[in-house]
Amino acid sequence: MFASNDLNTSSYWNFKNLAKNLFIAVAYIAAAKVGFYLAFFNSQVSPIWPPEGVALAALLIWGRPVLPGVLIGAVIANYLNNPHIPTALLIGLGNSAGAALNMYLILSLCKTRKIFSGSRILFRFFVSIIPGSALSASIGVSSLWGFGFVPAPEYIETWTTWFAGEVQGFLIVAPFLITWSMVLNEIWELPRMAEGILLVIALVASSYFAFSRNYPVSYIPIPFVVLLALRFGEFGATLGMAIVSALAVAQTVGGRGPFAMFGDTGDFSRNDTLVLLDLFIFIITVTAYTLVTVARERHAAIEDSLNSLITIEKVKDQANRELEAKVIERTRIIGQQKQELEDQIAIAEKIQMSLLPTNVSAIENCVLDFRYQPMMKIGGDFIDVKYDAPRHSLGMFICDVSGHGVAAAFLSVMVKMALSRWYSNLTDLKGAINFIQESLRANLGDNFVTATILHLNTQSGELRMACAGHHPTIVVHGDGTHDLIKPRGRMIMSFREPLPEESVTQLRGGDRVVLFTDGLTEARIRTGSLVLDEDSLIEMVAKSKETIPDLCGSIFGRVLSGSGGADSIEDDISLLLLEYQGNSPVKA
């Protein structure tokens, strides 16, 4: 990624790298002094750990050759604070390992050290600094605990504070150093510099006021941080957060400000205070950094748009001619594709219509007819009728696949294929529904199917039915009364069994059976009211003296005309009517 990352031996031991390592070691020790000054939960645990930010910035700017300087600085800094050599060595190794791990993750995930290049890169930076912080905290606190500097009951609290301090160091100090190392490349005019100085003064004053008094006014500096971020980008955001975090931590350590809630009268422990303080700083930092990246992306998008407009203006005439030619060609292709699609749909329509029953006239003791109208040329409703004359056995089936068009039609064809097992045993109603679910399970996805399946003994008039979440079957008796029959059963779906149950009804001569899909009773006129609700359908069947084919046509015609015609319906419509004429009618 960077030329300085070469691992040649000479690159580690030349004069420049020796100077860099010495500089980093000294800088780490100096930053550690500041961090230890802020420690008040444990002498080696600080709410913000600046040297880790120094280490990460150095590794990202100069590469792995400065890692020895980080390690030496970390060991010496910890030894000066706690002259216990094993502890200093272990903590120094943990600090160095955490910084190195974060460097590796940032270069692997972000592919750049310019973390403000985009919102995705910034988010990956936030993620990348977590593992190294956890590693450093785990090694450091475990070494303190192992050598008796931290009691076991305080391990978790110490680890939490250590981890939060590491995160703040990586989050605030490293971006600050990386960004401001490039300040010489920036050219700011005098008015802009004056604006920046005034904003910094206002931020310092507001931060000092907010964190020097025990009032809940910690939000006061936020507008100035936002202004710095929006007006000066990453330079303003990193400087603003360095100022806010420094003053907030220093004042809290001194027992002042809204986060100094520990002590004899406080409601929180020192560790709780540190966690709340770090959380406050973390949220403002993430907000400021995000504003910078979003503003930069927006500015880049505007520049791209302006450049595109300029380019388009320069080649407008040529582009218009090419565009016109492409439009004509594309229109021709679309026309061809549209015609091909219409031809294919027409074929699909013929195939689907061919799957409907073709001969329903010669059925013992029964008169049967049906109507079917898809919302488009093809649909998801399906009707099937099978008659086994030697066994006096009549099977009827109706279903409604969720959705419309090609997908629903495809599933309805699969339902037809799954019914092939039922044809050999028309009395196995529950088995037929369960087999449909087994056959369609892998292809249903989020779709579902409602269905009703019936078996009529045309000689005895016994009507058995099973249901899978479909509308009730209407039985209108010869005396004008009616029954709504809906056995238990769930819709056919991919993720659960339908569990159908059967019911048995005895038909008498003159009884009429009505099967339909919801498109029939939910069709609406332009005013929004229903054309034919369920009660009106029952009344129409009970009072009609028409033959079954004529009545079927009358019902269907009423729904279609009331809806504005076949092109205006909003769902597939299906209707099946049966009149049983076998036994003597029940006298009223």
Between 319 and 471, where is the model more confident?
471
Residue 192: pLDDT above 60? Answer: yes
Q: Which band of pLDDT confidence, cut at 50, 70 and 90, is reported for residue 179? A: confident
**Per-residue pLDDT, 361:** 78
Q: What are the sequence ranges of the domains in the chain?
A: 1-184, 186-298, 362-580
Residue in 244, 253, 254, 165 with CA at minimum distance from that of residue 210: 244
- Which of residues 421 and 350 earns the better pLDDT score? 421
Least confidently predicted of 39-43, 216-220, 478-482, 510-514:
39-43
Q: Which of 286, 231, 306 is nearest to 119 (CA)?
A: 286
The per-residue pLDDT for 587 is 47
Average model confidence (pLDDT) across the chain: 85
Order the strands of the 473-476 sheet from edge to edge: 366-373, 573-580, 512-516, 473-476, 482-485
The H-assigned helical ranges of 355-400 are none
What is the pLDDT, as a whole number, of residue 39? 62
pLDDT at 100: 92
pLDDT at 1 exceeding the cut of 50: no
Q: What pLDDT is stored for residue 201 in this prediction? A: 93
**Cα–Cα distance, 528 to 526 (Å, whole number):** 5
The segment with the largest mean pLDDT, out of 28-32, 76-80, 98-102, 353-357, is 98-102
Of 176, 235, 154, whose CA–CA distance to 200 is shortest? 235
Does the structure show a pLDDT above 80 at 351?
Answer: no
**Count of helices and strands (H, E) across the chain:** 18, 10
Q: What average pLDDT does this structure show over 90-108?
A: 91
Q: Which of 288-302, 347-361, 437-451 has the lowest mean pLDDT?
A: 347-361
Q: What is the pLDDT of residues 390-421, one digit of tens each?
A: 999 999 999 999 887 788 888 888 998 999 88
What are the tokens at 556?
């269907």
d(CA 41, CA 48): 12
CB 405 within 8 A of CB 471: no
Which is it for strands 482-485 and 449-457: parallel, antiparallel or unpaired?
unpaired
Q: Is the pLDDT of residue 7 over 50?
A: no
Residue with tokens 């002259």: 83
pLDDT recorded at residue 4: 42
Task: Characterize 161-176 residue by residue with b for buried, 16 or more Cβ atoms within 10 angstroms of its Cβ, and e for exposed.
Answer: bbbbbbbbbbbbbbbb
Is residue 265 packed enough to be buried (19+ CB in 10 Å), middle (13-18) or exposed (0-12)?
exposed
Residue 263 is predicted with a pLDDT of: 53
β-sheet bridge partners, residue 547: none
Instruction: For residue 355, give every residue at least 6 positions away whose Cβ sits within 8 Å of its Cβ, in sequence order, or none.
Output: 382, 384, 413, 416
Given the structure tokens 């507001």, which residue do they identify?
A: 206
What is d(CA 363, CA 513) in angstroms, rounded to the nearest whole number?
Answer: 15
Position 8 pLDDT exceeds 50:
no
Q: Give me the CATH code for the 362-580 domain, please.
A: 3.60.40.10
- What does the alpha-carbon distance between residue 443 and residue 49 come to, in Å, rounded to a whole number? 56
Check: CB of residue 38 under 8 Å from CB of residue 255: no
Question: Taking 70 as the threshold, does the pLDDT of residue 141 lie above it?
Answer: yes
Q: In angstroms, rounded to a whole number, what is the distance separating the alpha carbons of residues 345 and 234?
A: 58
Within 8 A by CB and 6+ apart from 110, the residues are 121, 124, 125, 128
- CATH code that applies to domain 1-184: 1.10.1760
Percent of the chain with pLDDT over 70: 93
pLDDT, mean of residues 339-344: 72
Q: What whole-number distance in Å separates Cα of residue 56 and Cα of residue 111?
A: 15
Range among 76-85, 126-135, 578-587 with highest mean pLDDT value:
126-135
- What's the pLDDT score for residue 214? 81
Tell me how far CA of residue 323 lies from CA of 162, 256, 308, 311, 336, in angstroms. Answer: 62, 69, 16, 15, 20
User: Tokens in use for 344?
Assistant: 């294919």
Higher pLDDT, 313 or 119: 119
**pLDDT tier at 40, thresholds 50, 70, 90:** low
For 211, other C-beta atoms within 10 Å of its C-beta total 27
Q: CA–CA separation, 416 vs 94, rounded Å?
A: 68
Q: CB under 8 Å to 138, separation ≥6 — which residues?
A: 94, 159
pTM beyond 0.85: the answer is: no
* pLDDT at position 187 over 90: no
**Higher-confidence residue: 359 or 433?**
433
**Amino acid 13: pLDDT:** 59
Q: pLDDT per residue over 551-561, tens digit each?
A: 999 998 899 88
pLDDT attached to residue 2: 40
Over the stretch 207-239, which tens digit does the pLDDT of each residue have? Answer: 888 888 888 888 889 899 899 888 888 888 889
**Among candidates 439, 441, 505, 495, which has minimal Cα distance to 467?**
505
Calculate mean pLDDT across residues 158-164.
Answer: 85
Q: What integer pLDDT is reported at residue 3 of this predicted model?
A: 39
Question: 85 with 58: CB under 8 angstroms?
Answer: no
Q: What are the structure tokens assigned to 429, written together?
A: 């109603």
